[in-house]
Chain A
């Protein structure tokens, strides 16, 4: 075993010793709102360029922003779900910079007084361990438009459909210590956002993106200089980018160099980060309170009202699944990852063997969906049919082995498992006389082996069971076969 493989995740073995990563994430989550943060234009994805643009989005002279209350509510909901402080007074600021896809010449964001303050999330790690990551703040802001540079040899085209779409920026504290932890953190945030319906979490469509701040240090030392990797849109890229950026920093530091604070981009084709702009080139955003908007103010009772309507969140659900269904904490954490999973599970496992249901769901169902490249919502098996399959196993109608065949058929035909069992005559044979017939047949066909067994070759017992099962086409109840065979061969 080489030395690096014993390193903890997030540690890098250098010439001078072990380096530790310090990571903080800024997640940009698009709010699931039909219209934009400050205009009535549609916020839908995939429309023809410049279709969803209002006069406000195009920053026509004299146009004014009006806050979308639904978005404010989603931000408060998210803050509550992150166990965070809700700021009953918050302020919108203008972040000023020039870019062709930023029509106003400023982004409306929240700088000194965000809508949500400090909070925390519990992040599950692979080995059924968990850690707590602090949330620094959450604020509301507008998305920018899109510049298309590849449509014309000398011109750039601008698509303003995204301009003004509502984003929540969720800023973590620098509490993350490994790329894997960062990945789990993003997964957890995404899961919470989907539970409460504040964001669809769709990373391919850009509904969820992350900027990663990465630095390295020797254990116990002060934080090092950080670099920010912009706009990562998959968990895999987040993990790769952090690892490669941390390694780059260690290489520089170990050869006597220093880290320049800068903004970097991740190139998925090389798996490496490259410089985008240095600190010296950083914009002076000239933040100041947007005079077109009043401060956001809400009462305690309004916040309380939102709190009361919050659905059960993953952490509490997980505890409940372990308690109510007797499953392992690890299985529970997989099931609560998505609201769809846990709803399905609870329907299927209701009044049944919770452990067996969880095992079948995690190994068989998830495996089969992955193999067929289907999303969970596209599953051909309903929770009702899935639960029925579990019942057929536990009440002895079919064996676990047969159940796998029935399951495969369910994936194809969408039929209920009882129908399949009935049609194909797959019911387990548990009748003693039926099984005794099979036993007698196998004994009479293998007189020599019976003699050997009785002579002390105990191992042959398994052979007889196998023969009986084969003869029954797998339908014989293995428990009863065992019991009767033992009696017979006494």
Chain B
């Protein structure tokens, strides 16, 4: 069993194609993992029958030589993706019994490429959170230092925990302000947020439409490349989807970074970053230099305004995007004697505190009299942040930063929403600028928790991002397995 779980995604694809293993064996191993690690709470829904059925179909294709790129690979899906005939709740009580009649474009792309669904993964409610604690069904536990009950990060906490716990070979996530990269960093795995527009948003429960972007959470950089190859693509059903063909990322794994310029933004090295993270950040920079990159100090002067701007724009869009959960057509409805009362009870009971907080902030910043001072100003800041990156990318090819200011924290310890928001301080700027970013694990801190480093590339330069990340991954030589992972 353990040998099957030891295979990463790329290795598993090879083993399947060489008929060393079958998809049914692999899928069963993962289904067992799911049950072995169920105390982590990563899965909201397990679709065993469907997984086995899909695995058997994949085995047929593997035998008759018509295997597709992800043939027979068992993966988990963040509960923000609508999956046909499978409950999709966005970790919210308001959608507790919602079963879509349609499949999101990104997940459909994965099934079209042969992937096997294991189940739906927990996340923060409507992807709003950085610790997975806002999930209606309770938090997910990070498989690292399992007994201490650490946060897996969020919002894609279930996805990151499942990949780290080896209860999914890979998982999908969504990233609005860091929701793929931060949990990946906390759980010691790789998380890639593509350029805004790379993956279709069609069928993904919307949080903040101008920021939401799907991406993979995987064990390695090459696994991420293989997953994103399948997930990405132009979709006419999403007007913001980019009509650009993405090159095969697997071709870029070993391109190296000789002669490339790597920017070190001075704004990302302020106080408040844990010492261990600074140490590994410096080490990572050195290793890139050793591999032939030129290291150049750069400045992104508006970085400090990114978080405030983000916490205006994202809630503003969310307040409008979540208006549809009104109890009229689907989802949980609280009966009442008037329409207004029905709205109040349905939404009052259906949404958790963090979601309500953001709806209220969003409603406030869009209100007449406040719109100019908040929403409009935040949009101007966003423009300036984008220009910061545009200027820097005239001088350098990639930017390297820590993924998070700290490693994972104990669940239930960060009660203050503002402190929680600071988790995203390094991931939010690239989100506002729509740029691709990847977080990969480079080591463990003193307490034994994974440290993630983030690389940011220019728009639609996922190929270069993969090359650079791969170099960093090789030199970091990170090969730790969480103590809470399935054996």
Question: Which residues from 218 to 242 on chain A have a C-beta closer than 8 Å to any C-beta of chain B?
Answer: none
For residue A96, CB closer than 8 A to chain B, the reply is yes
Set B95, B202, B328, B367: member contacting A64, Cβ < 8 A: B202
Given the known interface contacts A58-B329, A61-B90, A291-B210, the answer about A66 and B237 at a Cβ–Cβ threshold of 8 Å is yes
For residue B475, CB closer than 8 A to chain A, the reply is no
Once the chains are docked, how many angstroms separate the CA of A291 from the CA of B366? 14
For residue B43, CB closer than 8 A to chain A, the reply is no
Chain A residues touching B, majority SS = loop
The chain A residue sitting closest to B376, CB to CB, is A288
For residue B209, CB closer than 8 A to chain A, the reply is yes
A105:B323 contact, CB within 8 angstroms: yes
A59:B371 contact, CB within 8 angstroms: no
For residue B326, CB closer than 8 A to chain A, the reply is yes
Q: Which residues of the other chain, A, contact B181 by a CB distance below 8 angstroms?
A: none
A291:B326 contact, CB within 8 angstroms: no
| Per-position binary interface string of chain A over residues 59-103, scored 1 when its CB falls under 8 Å from any chain B CB and 0 otherwise | 111111111000000000000000000000000001010111001
B205:A62 contact, CB within 8 angstroms: yes
Set A58, A96, A100, A292: member contacting B339, Cβ < 8 A: A100
For residue A18, CB closer than 8 A to chain B, the reply is no
Q: Which residues of the other chain, A, contact B375 by a CB distance below 8 angstroms?
A: 288
B326:A105 contact, CB within 8 angstroms: yes
Set A61, A62, A288, A294: member contacting B371, Cβ < 8 A: A288
Once the chains are docked, how many angstroms separate the CA of A61 from the CA of B240? 17
A103:B371 contact, CB within 8 angstroms: no
A292:B329 contact, CB within 8 angstroms: no
For residue A293, CB closer than 8 A to chain B, the reply is yes
Given the known interface contacts A62-B202, A66-B236, A291-B209, the answer about A98 and B343 at a Cβ–Cβ threshold of 8 Å is yes
| Per-position binary interface string of chain B over residues 210-246, scored 1 when its CB falls under 8 Å from any chain A CB and 0 otherwise | 1000000000000000000000000011111000000
Q: Which residues of the other chain, A, contact B367 by a CB distance below 8 angstroms?
A: 284, 286
Once the chains are docked, how many angstroms separate the CA of A346 from the CA of B363? 58
For residue A334, CB closer than 8 A to chain B, the reply is no
Q: Which residues of the other chain, B, contact A67 by a CB distance below 8 angstroms?
A: 239
**Nearest CB of chain B from residue A426's CB, rounded to whole Å:** 66
For residue B252, CB closer than 8 A to chain A, the reply is no
A64:B239 contact, CB within 8 angstroms: yes
The chain A residue sitting closest to B204, CB to CB, is A62
Once the chains are docked, how many angstroms separate the CA of A217 from the CA of B326? 44
Q: Which residues of the other chain, A, contact B205 by a CB distance below 8 angstroms?
A: 61-62
B366:A286 contact, CB within 8 angstroms: yes
Question: Which residues from 430 to 448 on chain B have a C-beta closer than 8 Å to any C-beta of chain A?
Answer: none
For residue A156, CB closer than 8 A to chain B, the reply is yes
Question: Which residues from 161 to 204 on chain A have a C-beta closer than 8 Å to any C-beta of chain B?
Answer: none
A291:B317 contact, CB within 8 angstroms: yes
Once the chains are docked, how many angstroms separate the CA of A62 from the CA of B77? 15
For residue B330, CB closer than 8 A to chain A, the reply is yes
A61:B368 contact, CB within 8 angstroms: no
Chain B residues touching A, majority SS = loop
Q: Which residues of the other chain, B, contact A106 by a CB distance below 8 angstroms?
A: 320, 323
For residue B316, CB closer than 8 A to chain A, the reply is yes
B320:A286 contact, CB within 8 angstroms: yes
Given the known interface contacts A61-B206, A62-B201, the answer about A96 and B320 at a Cβ–Cβ threshold of 8 Å is yes
Q: Which residues of the other chain, B, contact A465 by a CB distance below 8 angstroms?
A: none
Q: Which residues of the other chain, B, contact A61 by a CB distance below 8 angstroms?
A: 82, 88, 90, 95, 98, 100, 205-206, 324
For residue B104, CB closer than 8 A to chain A, the reply is yes
Q: Which residues of the other chain, A, contact B330 by a CB distance below 8 angstroms?
A: 60
Once the chains are docked, how many angstroms separate the CA of A58 from the CA of B100? 12
For residue B480, CB closer than 8 A to chain A, the reply is no
| Per-position binary interface string of chain A over residues 283-308, scored 1 when its CB falls under 8 Å from any chain B CB and 0 otherwise | 01011100111100000000000000
B237:A105 contact, CB within 8 angstroms: no
Once the chains are docked, how many angstroms separate the CA of A100 from the CA of B326? 8
Given the known interface contacts A58-B329, A61-B100, the answer about A104 and B201 at a Cβ–Cβ threshold of 8 Å is no
Question: Which residues from 118 to 159 on chain A have a C-beta closer than 8 Å to any C-beta of chain B?
Answer: 156, 158
B239:A294 contact, CB within 8 angstroms: yes
B203:A62 contact, CB within 8 angstroms: yes
**Nearest CB of chain A from residue B220's CB, rounded to whole Å:** 29
| Per-position binary interface string of chain B over residues 72-97, scored 1 when its CB falls under 8 Å from any chain A CB and 0 otherwise | 00000000011000001010000100
**Nearest CB of chain B from residue A372's CB, rounded to whole Å:** 47
Question: Which residues from 112 to 164 on chain B have a C-beta closer than 8 Å to any C-beta of chain A?
Answer: none
B237:A64 contact, CB within 8 angstroms: yes
* Known interface pairs A103-B324, A286-B366; 11 further A-B residue pairs with C-beta atoms within 8 A, sorted by A's residue number: A60-B82, A60-B100, A61-B206, A64-B239, A94-B320, A96-B366, A98-B323, A286-B319, A286-B320, A291-B209, A292-B206
Interface set of B (CB-CB < 8 Å, partner A): 81-82, 88, 90, 95, 98, 100-102, 104, 201-206, 208-210, 236-240, 316-317, 319-320, 322-324, 326, 328-330, 339, 343, 363, 366-368, 371, 375
Interface set of A (CB-CB < 8 Å, partner B): 55, 58-67, 94, 96, 98-100, 103-106, 156, 158, 284, 286-288, 291-294
List the 6 shortest-distance A-B pairs measured between CB atoms, nearest first: A105-B323, A286-B366, A291-B209, A291-B210, A59-B324, A62-B203
